[in-house]
Amino acid sequence: MSNNLESNKIFASILLSSLIAMLAGFFADILYKPNTVVERGFTIFVEGGTEQDVIQKEEYVNIKLLVDQASAQEGKNIFKKCVSCHSITKDGDHKIGPNLYDIFYSKKAGQEGFNYSKAFQNLEGIWDEESLFEFLKKPSKFVPGTKMSFIGLKKNSELAAMIAYLKENSVKSKN
């Protein structure tokens, strides 16, 4: 019995000292706010270069290769995020968004019977691998002013699978 009591006292003292240390740190942060802003990281200077010469490069992605290697079945699973607003059946009705059957290689904002927003009506060209990749990555960036609330897919593998699924459900891509 006394052994349990001793271990409880030790545990309580460790717990209390930890609590006191945390509170001391908390109050020290409140009382002593540093006035200087410390920039994290470091700058690398290149001979003959200026700050304007610095260009952020995005990693090149071979979209067609990714789509060719992607699983349309996985894309079907990812498409479940879209079914509340879109259908993908031949002769299917439009929902909040257009029916996406046969969208691949179709004119942008070209699904008959759907009332597109002005932002979409201003798009030119067709839906191919590259345009779908950029659109599905971040719709609001690809079509500024879109009413579409979908924020986009982050992973290249998900984007490729979704495009493979859309391509599989398009007659034009099979010709």
pLDDT band at 22 (very low <50, low <70, confident <90, very high): very high
pLDDT at 166 over 70: yes
pLDDT at residue 147, as a whole number: 83
- CB-side exposure of 65: number of CA atoms within 13 Å? 3
Quote the CA–CA distance of 163 and 71 in Å, as a whole number: 9
Average pLDDT over residues 75-86: 92
Whether 139 has a pLDDT exceeding 60, the answer reads yes
Mean pLDDT of 111-120: 89
Domain locations in the chain? 2-53, 63-174
- pLDDT, tens only, 96-107: 999 999 998 999
Fill in the amino acid letter for 26: F
Maximum Cα–Cα distance across the chain: 85
Return the number of other C-beta atoms located less than 10 Å from residue 172's C-beta. 13
18 CB-side CA count, 13 A: 6
Nearest residue to 90 via CA among 166, 163, 167, 170: 170
How far is 143 from 135, CA to CA, in rounded Å? Answer: 8
CB 111 within 8 A of CB 99: yes
Q: State whether CATH 1.10.760.10 applies to domain 63-174.
A: yes
What are 24-76's pLDDT values in tens digits?
988 888 887 766 666 666 666 666 655 555 555 556 778 888 889 999 999 99
